[in-house]
Amino acid sequence: MCDISGNLLINPYFLFLAKFRENLKSRGVVNIKVTTVVQMASKKWRQMSKAQKAIYNQIAQMNRKSRLK
């Protein structure tokens, strides 16, 4: 996943946040403050298990490796 400038995201939480925003948009939630989205996403992130966060950690690790090349 990339941020809006096209850079690879290397932080697992920011990867999750980008996916969280995509999910909101796909469900038709569009007129919501950025701060509210971040609060909702951070609450969800804190409730997730290590196993649920593992995929985001793996993607971030791959992004870090590709950025170093």
Task: Let me know if residue 39 belongs to a domain.
Answer: yes
Per DSSP (E only), the strands in 1-69 are: none
Its domain, for residue 18, covers 12-68
Task: Let me know if residue 51 belongs to a domain.
Answer: yes
68 has pLDDT over 50: yes
The whole-number pLDDT of residue 69 equals 65
Number of domains in the chain: 1
Give the integer Cα–Cα distance in Å for 69 and 65. Answer: 7
Task: Let me know if residue 57 belongs to a domain.
Answer: yes
The whole-number pLDDT of residue 4 equals 44
Each residue's pLDDT tens digit, 20-57: 999 999 999 989 999 999 999 999 999 999 999 999 99
The whole-number pLDDT of residue 40 equals 97
Q: Which of 53, 69, 68, 44 is nearest to 11 (CA)?
A: 53
Task: Let me know if residue 42 belongs to a domain.
Answer: yes
Residue 51: C-alpha distances to residues 12, 39, 45, 55 (Å): 13, 22, 12, 8
Task: Let me know if residue 1 belongs to a domain.
Answer: no
